[in-house]
Amino acid sequence: MNLKIDVQDAGQEYRITLAGEIDAYTAPNLKEKFMEIAEQDDVRITIDLTDVSYMDSTGLGVFIALLKAIKKHNGSLKFVGVSERLKRLFDITGLTDILNVNSQVEGGVK
């Protein structure tokens, strides 16, 4: 399956909506898109995972690289629409301690 990436740009604030699977096949394209945005100063990124049906460790690696790049440029990163399944993956790997993960979508509950 493919991964759909929708980027909404409002100046230094981005909302990225992902749909599909984040795995070894789709992660390189995702990382490329993210890094273009992450290297801006003071950028704020919200990633909506509502429609992500699957994610493996490759996807987690992309998000860690994204967080490092954003912090280097004084930006912020948060996740919304995180399913119980994905939340468990973040919990098991300890990433909920360093990533802003929220199961609610702004403007409503998933």
Provide the CATH topology of domain 3-101. Answer: Transcription Regulator spoIIAA (3.30.750)
The pLDDT assigned to 54 comes to: 94
1 pLDDT higher than 70: no
Distance (Å, whole) CA 80 – CA 52: 11
Domain map (residue ranges) of the chain: 3-101
Model confidence pLDDT, tens digit, residues 39-74: 899 999 999 999 999 999 999 999 999 999 999 999
The pLDDT assigned to 42 comes to: 94
The pLDDT assigned to 56 comes to: 92
